[in-house]
Structure 1
Amino acid sequence: MMFMCMDANFRLKNNLVSNYSQDPGLGIGWAYMVPRKPYEDYVVSQADDGDISTCVSFQAIAKANIKKANGLRVTGTGGLVCGRSEMILPVSIGNLQKGERYSNMDYVFGSAMKTVAVPLILISYDIACQWFINLFKRMNEHWPDSIKIPPSKTLIPAIPKLHEPMHQSAGHQVFSLNFIPGAGLSDCECLERVWAHHNALGNSTKTQGPGSRQDVLDDHFGFWNWQKYINLGRTLLRRYKAAVADRNIQREGHRGLSEPLEKELLLDWEAMCVEWDADNFPKSAKNPYETDGITISEAQVKKDLALEEQKRLAAGGVAFHETTAAGFLSYGLELEEVQRRIKRLVKETAKQTTDRKEGTLTEQRNLLRARLRNYEQLAYMYMLGLLQYQINLQRRNTSPPTLLPAASQPLVEPSSDKPEDSILWLPSSIPAQMREKVCQLGLPEMEDKLREAQCQDALESVRHILKIKTRMILFKNRNIRASAGGG
C-alpha cells in the first residue's frame, strides 16, 4: 500500500510580475510542477467551483491566507508527497490561483496518480471527509481523460493525525489512521514538514517571474528528494529498531488485555474488526470503534431535557416558572460548584492572608448569597413538599429520622452562616423514600442524568489532562538533558 499526503501551502505566493511570454521557464511540467497549460485550462473551466467548505474551521484559516490576494498571480501551492519516504511526487505540485479549491487539488492529485503503479493507495488530506465523498463523481463529469484514475486503483481516504481531532467525531472513525490496517504509527503530516522546510523560499520567489519561480521550486524540491534518498538507509534502520521495540510492548499489552476476557467475546470482537477492515469506503459494516452514545455530555443531557420540556408544554403541560425544572437543577449544580470553589479559596486565603484575597473572598460570598436567595424561590416551587419536610426535620432535629443514618442526615440549618456551607436541597439531599412526596414528578431522575453527565465530562477532562501530561513527560525525557542551573 502506498501512502500519498496532500495539502496546500499559502506561503509560496507569487506577485503579478512579468508573464510567461517573457519568462517561460526552462522545463515547466518536466519535474515536480504540473504542466501549466492543461492545468490552467481545467481550473478555468471550473471557475464556479467555490472554496473548499469543511466540517471544521479550516475555511476561516484559508480565507485569512488569501484575503490579501490583490496583486498576486499565485496565492500558494498545493501538492502531494509520499507518506512513507516524504519525497515529493513527480508532476504533483500546482499553483493556487485563489485559495484551496477542489479543481486545483483534484488536478494535482490526478496528475500525481499517473506516476503511481501500486494498486492500493492511502490518500491523506486534512479535509478528506468532504473532498473524497464526491471525488469520483467530479472525476467522471469534469476531469480530463489524461488524469482520470483507472478502475484498477483502490483509494483509502484518511485524515492526518494532527488535523483529525479538529473534526467532528461522528462518522469520522473511517478516516482515522488509528483504525486503518497497515497505517501503523504513520501520522501522514508529511507535507507539513515539507512545507516548513520550503517556506523560506517564499520571500525570494514571490517577486520572481512565473517561469523562473517554477524552475527554482523544481530545483529545491529535487534537492529535498535527494537528501531524503541518501539518508533513507539510516532513517529506515532507526524506524525499524523503534518499531520492533514498540511491537513487543503492544503485543504484551494486547495479551494482558485479552487474557481476562471470555474467548467468545474476543471472537465476536475480532469478527467485527475483520468485517470492518474488509469493507470498502463508504463502509456499511458495523463500526467496532464507535463510542458515541456510550457516554453523554452534560450539554447533551441539558439539550435532551429541554426537548422533553418542549414536548410536555406542546401537549398542554403547565409552565410553573420561566426557569424550567432542568434549568433549576442546572442552577443548583452550578451553585454547588461555586460553593466548592469558595471553600478552596478559603483554604488558600488561610495559608497566606492578604487584603486582596480577603476582599475577593468576601465579594464571592456576597454574590453567592444573592444567587442563593433566587435559588430558594425555585426550590420551593419545584419541590412542593420541601417546606413541610424542613419543618418536620426541625421538630426532630434532636432525634434524626430513622430513614437515614445520623451521620448522613441533612440538617435544616447549616453549621455556620457562611453561604458555602448552605444546604442546596437538591433532590439527592432528600432520602430516597421521601423524594416522591417532596419533589415534582421526574425531578430526581433529571438530577441523576445531569450528575452522571457531569461525571462523564469530569472523566473526559481527567483523560485529556493525563494525555497532555504524558506527552510532556515524553518530550522532557527525549529532549531535556539537564535542569536549569545544572552543571
Structure 2
Amino acid sequence: MCRITEGRYQCCEQECFAMGSVCRACCINLHRRNPLHWIEEWNSSFFQHQSLQGLELRMQLGHELGSTCPCSSPASKDFAVLHSNGIHNVSVDFCACSLATERRQQLLRASWWPAMPTDPQTAMTFPLLHLFHTLNCQGKMPAFDMWKGLEIMTENRTGRRPPDRYKVLLRTIRQWRHLKQCKRAGHGHDPTGVQGTSLGELALECLACPHPGWNMPEVSEIEEVKRLTCPQSWLYTLFIALDVNYCVRNAVVSSDEQDPPLSDGWGYFVEKGPYLEHLHKFVSQEEISTCSGFAATFLANIKNVRGLRTTGVVGCTCARHGVWQKRGFGNLQHGERHCNVDGVVVQALNDVEVEVVISYDIVCQWGIHFWERMAEFPDDAHLKLTQDAIIMCMPKFHLWAHKPQCHARFSFNYVHGSGQTHRETIEENWADSNKASAQTKMMGPGARQDTLDDIFGFHNYRIMESFAIKEARVHRDDFERFDEGIISYCGKATTAQWLALVTAWEKDHSRPCPYEATLQGNETLQERSMRRRKGQVEFVNHQVLALFSCLAYKSRRLSEHILEMEVKALAMGTVYQQLNIQKQRSSLLRKINRFRGLQQVFMPNLRLVLSPSKLRHLDASSAFNVESIKLFMPSELDDDNQRARVCTPGVAEMESRMHEAESHDSLQRLRSSLRNRAASHLFTVKNVTGQNSTTQNQGILRTIQMNIHANKLRYRYSRNVLFRLRGHGPWEDELRLLRDEDIRGLNERLQTEDELHEQQRLRDLGVMDATGESSTNWNPAQRGDSRRVLSWIWYDSGTKDNTPKFTALCIEWCKARARMLRWEEEIQLLDEEMRRVISFADWKARWWSERAELRPDASPELQEGLKAFALEHTISEGCKKARVAEKWAPLRRLAQEYQRNLPVEIILEYQLQEEVVEEEVVDDE
C-alpha cells in the first residue's frame, strides 16, 4: 500500500482484507483477486457507490495474476457476472495468444460459468451456483427468488435496476445440475463420456438394500442358499413402496420438443418413450377401487385437469430406508390408474433379481390382475422375477381403512421376514418433496424433470437409517411369558394346533385366517338388520315386522340417551341442554306413536291383559317424560300364555333373535374395549409423563371405561330379555351370566380384597370416577400369572364343560407370536443392513479406484485431474467405511449377541415345521 493518509475508496465487503480507506491505485491492486466486491467513494460529504469497472480495473483471463496478454481480446463492456452479493459489470480481457484456450474454458478456470459456449456475455460464479444448488435442494427455494434477491442487492448498491439475466440463470442452473450429476456418477472418467450413460445410472442407490455383487452374494449364490433351505434367505429381500402424489402437478407450459429433459431415464424418472407408448394402450381405461376409502381411489377418474399436463406423479421408494429408486417416477395424466403404476414398476424393477415385497395402499385392487397386465409388455420389458418372488402388502397406517378381508392378508405384521418397518416412509418423502411443487408447477416438462431429479438425488444423499435393538427383547420376553401361561391353561397340543394354522395360512391365504375374529354362526345386530333389509329373514309380513322391531329398538335406545342427557343436565344445567332434551323427546314421541300403530297389528289383544295403571302408557300423547313410557314388547308380558294370547305368530321369536344378536354384538364390543384399555395402559406406562399428558390420558381412559360399562349393561339387558323369552336352555352356554369379575382383559387378573377396599376408598374420596369401577387389575404378563383363570368372554363356549375353542385367545397368541417374530427379524435385518452399508462403501472405493485409469488417451492435464478426483472419492469411501464400521460396531455386537441367544426353535421354525405342518393340516381336513 502507498500509505496515503487520505484515501477516498473503501470496500463494502466484510471479508475483504483492504480495511479502511485507500487510494485508487491501491484499491485496484487489492481487488485484482476480488473483482466482484462493492466499492464506495468519499465525495467530501458521504460515501457513495463506485464500481471497480469505473476505477478501470480489468480482469485478465488465461494468464497468471498480475500479467497481461499482448494479444488480449476484450469482452463486451456490458459483460455481466452474477455473484452471491449481486450482479456486476466487469471489464474482462480474454487471452488470444497462439496457445490460448476457448473463452468458455478461460472462464471456467476462473470459476466463472459461461452462459453461452461461444462468445459468452454473461457468467455465473461457482459460489453463487453452489449456494443456490444447496438452498434449492434443502429449502426448495426457487430460482426466481434467488434472482430477485440478486436484483434487490444490486439495486440497493447501485441505485439502478440491473439488466435482466433471469432466463440465462435458469439455463445455467440446469446445466450445473446435470453436469454435477454426471460428474458424481463418474462419467467424466468413462471413455464413452456422457453419451454412454445407461438408464438409471445417475441415481444414488440405497446402500443398505441388497445389490447382488456389490454388498451381497451374486444371485447364483443366493439360489444355492435357498436350495439348502437356509432360514436366512429372506435377508436378501428388497422392500419397495409405491404411492401417488397429487401435489407435484405441472401446467401446460412449453412442450417436450422445446424443453426436453437433459437426462431422460438416467435418474429417477422413467424413460419417457416406452412409458408413454405403454400408456397410449389404456387411454380410455377406467378403474375404481371397490375397497379402499382413500381419496386416491376417488381420483381414479379425476376431472379437474384443465390446464394441466401432469396431475401428479407415481413414485417408488425403498420401504425400509426411504431412498428413492432409480427410474421409480412417472407422471400421471388422468389420475391414479393401474397403467401408470405398471409402467413405473416395470422400469424400476427391470434389473432386480432378488425377491421383492411391494407396499402399495391400494394393492388389493392393483394386484388382482398384475401378472396378466405384465404379460402385455414387450419381451424386453418383462420382469426377471417370477410370481413367487413378489409379495404384495399395504402400509400399516393405510391398511385399516380397507375392508376387514384385506387386513390380515396384506398386513406386514404377518409377512415372514418383513421386520418392523412401518412402510410409510414414502409419505415422509412426499412431505419433503412437496415443498418443490410450487416452483415446478409452471416449469417446462424438461426443466421440471431435471429439477425433481436433482431434488430426489439430494434426498437420497441426506437419508439416514435408524436402529432399534431393545424393543425386540421386550417382545420376545413378553411372548415367552404369555406362551407359558397359554400352554399351562390350554395345553401344548392347543398351541401346536394354532402354530399349524398360522403356518398353513402363511403358505396359502385361501385357508382360514388365524389373525381375524370370526363369529361362528353368531350374528351381530347390524348383520341381522342387513339381512332383514335384503329380505333373507323369513316371517309373515317380514318387512313390516322388521320395521316394528326396528322402531322398538330405536325407541328404547333413544330413551336411554335422553336419560343420560338428563343426568348430565342436572350437573351442568344449561339452557341449550334443556332445549336439546326437549327436541329428543319430541323425536321419541313420534317414533312411539308410529310404533303403536304397528303394535295394534302384531299385538292386537294387548289392552286385554294390561292393568289400568299400565294402560296410560298406551295413551300417552305428551312429550313430557316420554322416555318413561313403556313399549310392552312380548318380553315384558308375564308368561308364554299371555304372549300367545296377545301376539301374532313370530313376534316373540323376532324379538328373541334381535336380542340374541344384540348380546353377541355387545360382547364383541366389550372385548374390543378391554383390548383398548390394555393398550392404553401399556402406552401410559411407557410414554406418558407430566401433568398435562397425564390429564389428557385419564380422559381417554375414562371414555374407554364408560364404553366398557355401557356394553356391560347392554349385554345384561339383552340376556335378561332372552331369558324371559326362552328360559333355561343351550343358548346359555354361549351367552353366560356376566359378572363384574368376568370383565377383564387377557393380561388382567382379579383384584384381591385389599385392592377392592382401596379402590372403594378412593372412589369415596372422589379421587376415582364412579364410572371407573372395575374388579380387575391391569398388569403386564409376569411369571406366576399362568395359574390365573381366564374370563369366559375370551373364548367361545359351545358346551358346558371346560373344553373351549379359544377363538379370541388364539388370535391374541398368534398376534403376539407375529410381533415377536417380526422383531427377531428386525434385529437380523438391521445387522445385515449395517453389513451391507460397510460392504457397499468398500465396493464403491474399489470402483472409484478402477475409474482413475479408464482414459489413457486423454491429455496429461485431464488425466491428472481425473485421477485426483477418483482418488479423492476412493479415500472418501474408505473413510466412510471405517467411520460407520466403528460407529456401528457396538450395535452389531449387541445384535449378534442377541441372535446367538435366540432359541433354536425360533431360528429354525420355518425350516423344521414346513413338512410336519402340511401333513397336520391335511389330516385335519
Q: Please tell me the TM-score bracket, short chain as reference.
A: 0.7 to 0.9
- Amino acid of the residue matched to residue 421 of structure 1? S
Is residue 304 of structure 1 aligned with residue 517 of structure 2? no
Is residue 197 of structure 1 aligned with residue 426 of structure 2? no
Separation in structure 1 between the aligned mates of residue 294 and residue 571 of structure 2, nearest angstrom: 47
Q: CA deviation at 1:22?
A: 3.2
Partner of 1:102: 338
Partner of 2:591: 371
Counterpart mapping for 1:332-347 below 5 A: 332-347=552-567
Q: CA deviation at 1:108?
A: 0.9
Is residue 289 of structure 1 aligned with residue 515 of structure 2? yes
Counterpart mapping for 1:46-445 below 5 A: 46-58=282-294, 62-63=298-299, 66-118=302-354, 120-143=355-378, 145-151=380-386, 154-170=389-405, 173-228=408-463, 231-232=464-465, 235-236=466-467, 239-279=468-508, 283-294=509-520, 296-307=523-534, 317=540, 319=541, 324-391=544-611, 418-431=625-638, 433-434=640-641, 435-445=643-653
Separation in structure 2 between the aligned mates of residue 28 and residue 472 of structure 1, nearest angstrom: 54
Q: CA deviation at 1:372?
A: 2.7
- Amino acid of the residue matched to residue 222 of structure 1? G
Separation in structure 2 between the aligned mates of residue 255 and residue 379 of structure 1, nearest angstrom: 56
Choose the corresponding residue for 2:692, options 478, 483, 486. Answer: 483
Partner of 1:450: 658
The answer to whether the Cα contact below 8 Å between 1:125 and 1:158 also exists between their aligned partners in 2 is yes
SS at match of 1:175: coil
Separation in structure 1 between the aligned mates of residue 357 and residue 387 of structure 2, nearest angstrom: 14
Separation in structure 2 between the aligned mates of residue 25 and residue 60 of structure 1, nearest angstrom: 28
- Amino acid of the residue matched to residue 332 of structure 2? L
Once the two structures are superposed, what CA deviation does each residue of 1:258-303 show, in whole Å capped at 9, x if it has no partner? 4321333322222111111122xxx333333343444533232023
Structure 1 unpaired stretches of 5+: 398-410
**Structure ranking higher on relative contact order (CA contacts 8 Å, 6+ apart):** 1
Distance 1:153 1:212, change over 3 A: farther
Distance 1:480 1:99, change over 3 A: farther
Separation in structure 2 between the aligned mates of residue 368 and residue 7 of structure 1, nearest angstrom: 48
Separation in structure 1 between the aligned mates of residue 327 and residue 688 of structure 2, nearest angstrom: 38
Distance 1:90 1:171, change over 3 A: closer
Partner of 2:258: 22
Distance 1:197 1:376, change over 3 A: same
Separation in structure 2 between the aligned mates of residue 452 and residue 251 of structure 1, nearest angstrom: 38
Q: CA deviation at 1:332?
A: 0.9
Q: CA deviation at 1:467?
A: 4.0
SS at match of 2:327: coil
Separation in structure 1 between the aligned mates of residue 417 and residue 675 of structure 2, nearest angstrom: 28
SS at match of 1:162: helix
Separation in structure 2 between the aligned mates of residue 69 and residue 363 of structure 1, nearest angstrom: 46
Separation in structure 2 between the aligned mates of residue 412 and residue 256 of structure 1, nearest angstrom: 57
SS at match of 1:334: helix
Separation in structure 2 between the aligned mates of residue 126 and residue 464 of structure 1, nearest angstrom: 28
The answer to whether the Cα contact below 8 Å between 1:161 and 1:189 also exists between their aligned partners in 2 is yes
Q: CA deviation at 1:6?
A: 0.7
The two structures, once aligned, show a CA RMSD in angstroms of 3.4
Whose Rg is larger?
Answer: 2
Distance 1:214 1:361, change over 3 A: closer
Separation in structure 2 between the aligned mates of residue 249 and residue 390 of structure 1, nearest angstrom: 60
Q: CA deviation at 1:136?
A: 0.7
- Amino acid of the residue matched to residue 532 of structure 2? L
Separation in structure 1 between the aligned mates of residue 301 and residue 690 of structure 2, nearest angstrom: 38
- Amino acid of the residue matched to residue 371 of structure 2? F
Separation in structure 1 between the aligned mates of residue 384 and residue 461 of structure 2, nearest angstrom: 28
Distance 1:24 1:476, change over 3 A: farther
Distance 1:344 1:418, change over 3 A: same
Distance 1:18 1:175, change over 3 A: same
Identity value in percent: 29
Separation in structure 1 between the aligned mates of residue 682 and residue 690 of structure 2, nearest angstrom: 13
Aligned length: 450
Moved more, 460-469 or 352-361: 460-469
SS at match of 1:260: helix
Separation in structure 2 between the aligned mates of residue 143 and residue 172 of structure 1, nearest angstrom: 34
Distance 1:482 1:204, change over 3 A: farther
SS at match of 1:89: strand
Separation in structure 2 between the aligned mates of residue 383 and residue 197 of structure 1, nearest angstrom: 67
The answer to whether the Cα contact below 8 Å between 1:180 and 1:277 also exists between their aligned partners in 2 is yes
Separation in structure 2 between the aligned mates of residue 151 and residue 348 of structure 1, nearest angstrom: 63
The answer to whether the Cα contact below 8 Å between 1:52 and 1:100 also exists between their aligned partners in 2 is no
Distance 1:350 1:15, change over 3 A: closer
Separation in structure 1 between the aligned mates of residue 280 and residue 376 of structure 2, nearest angstrom: 15
Distance 1:167 1:432, change over 3 A: farther
Q: CA deviation at 1:41?
A: 1.5
SS at match of 2:328: coil
Separation in structure 2 between the aligned mates of residue 310 and residue 274 of structure 1, nearest angstrom: 38
Separation in structure 2 between the aligned mates of residue 56 and residue 457 of structure 1, nearest angstrom: 25
Moved more, 253-262 or 7-16: 253-262
Moved more, 303-312 or 14-23: 303-312
Once the two structures are superposed, what CA deviation does each residue of 1:224-268 show, in whole Å capped at 9, x if it has no partner? 22222xx32xx12xx223333333334433443443213333222
Separation in structure 2 between the aligned mates of residue 260 and residue 352 of structure 1, nearest angstrom: 49
The answer to whether the Cα contact below 8 Å between 1:28 and 1:36 also exists between their aligned partners in 2 is yes
